[in-house]
Amino acid sequence: MNARTEPAVVETALLHDSHDSHEMQASAHQLSNAHLDALEEETIFILREVAGAFERPALLFSGGKDSLVMLKCAEKAFGAGRIPYPLLMIDTGHNFPEVTDFRDQRAQELGAELIVRSVEDSMKRGTVRLAHPGESRNVHQSVTLLEAIEEFRFDALIGGARRDEEKARAKERIFSHRDSFGQWQPKAQRPELWTLFNTRLHSGEHFRVFPISNWTELDVWQYIARENIALPSIYYTHRREVVDRRGLLVPVTELTPPREGERVELRDVRFRTVGDITCTCPVESTAATPQDIVIETLAAEVSERGATRMDDKTSDASMERRKKEGYF
């Protein structure tokens, strides 16, 4: 639940059965999104700070909702077609085609430079080696990302991570210093008081910058609704074959076929987050618009990544370990 949402509205929503769609819809319509102006202002300030403080920044752009929100703020910060850094995508080769097609279309509409570097190429170079052909490539994005940073000598990468997604992300700073090996050191983070960011770098180091770190999932959907931001179709309800595996709805695809004994079901689902097919699951939903999703998010009891990501369930510290190795 969004702490910035008016307490009276939140209380009204919680007092009623979450299945009472009329009550929830009425509560959602009462939501003021005045706080979005403050979040948008902070994000624009950070995007401009990156442009002013670094020589070779890039904006990580997957075609997902968070990066599309950042792109909208970047348009407001600099003007459409004038974003002063390229867009960078690290492609595992296992992304949903609806998302990669949308990514390419959006970059073309904006006239933005889109750089795509793939895990497949890292595998050909021998810098990524899979334990077996069916292994998820998601974790190996770190290697490809660090190779891209070295290739283009990026000194700041702007990402769409939010603190409410996962506990390792909750404790990371907005301007996150990475050493010459691309590693994040949680115990050596620089303090951030008010809007004072320490952007000092030594040779070979870089920053990861998270302008929407203070946003919540509900903020993002309210902003998408307010700004009428277009998204890939799989964010909204559609019928899809899935199997229920340890509480997650695993999509049935060539990369994620059903296991022996699993029952394939056709359900109405949508994706709360989009990523590598091998580790991203949809949730059951009939939400067809951003407003519908705002209502669902008000009643959600499980975090976005907790409800959708298989890779985060390997251990409680899996995200922190990956970030130390150079992950987003």
Q: What is the pLDDT along the chain (328 residues), one digit of tens a residue?
A: 444 555 455 455 545 444 555 555 555 555 667 899 999 999 999 999 999 999 999 999 999 999 999 999 999 999 877 899 999 999 999 999 999 999 999 999 988 899 999 999 999 999 999 988 778 888 899 999 999 999 999 999 999 999 988 777 888 899 999 998 888 888 889 888 888 898 999 989 999 999 999 999 999 999 999 999 999 999 999 999 999 998 899 999 999 999 999 999 999 999 999 988 988 999 999 999 999 999 999 988 777 766 666 665 555 566 677 777 777 7
Is residue 49 within 8 Å of 198, Cβ to Cβ?
no
Residues 179 and 236 in one domain: no
Residues 129 and 248 in one domain: no
Is residue 85 within 8 Å of 60, Cβ to Cβ?
no
Taking the C-alpha atoms of residue 235 and residue 273, their distance in angstroms, rounded to an integer, is 8
Number of domains in the chain: 2
126 Cα distance to chain centroid: 28
Contacts of 167 by beta carbon, 8 Å cutoff, 6+ apart: 319, 320
Residues 69 and 198 in one domain: yes
Contacts of 260 by beta carbon, 8 Å cutoff, 6+ apart: none
pLDDT score at 66:
96
Residues 199 and 281 in one domain: no
User: Domain range spanning residue 239?
Assistant: 231-314
Is residue 232 within 8 Å of 102, Cβ to Cβ?
yes
Residues 213 and 251 in one domain: no
Residues 276 and 161 in one domain: no
Alpha helices in 31-186 (DSSP H): 34-53, 65-78, 97-110, 119-125, 141-152, 167-170
Residues 178 and 39 in one domain: yes
Max intra-chain CA distance, the chain: 58
Q: What pTM, to 2 d.p., does this model score?
A: 0.85
Residues 180 and 256 in one domain: no
Strand order in the sheet with 283-284: 248-251, 238-245, 265-270, 283-284
Q: What is the CATH number of the domain that holds 46?
A: 3.40.50.620
Residues 155 and 259 in one domain: no
Angle at alpha carbon of residue 275, lines to 274 and 277, rounded to 5°: 105
Question: Considering the domain boundaries, does residue 1 fall inside one?
Answer: no
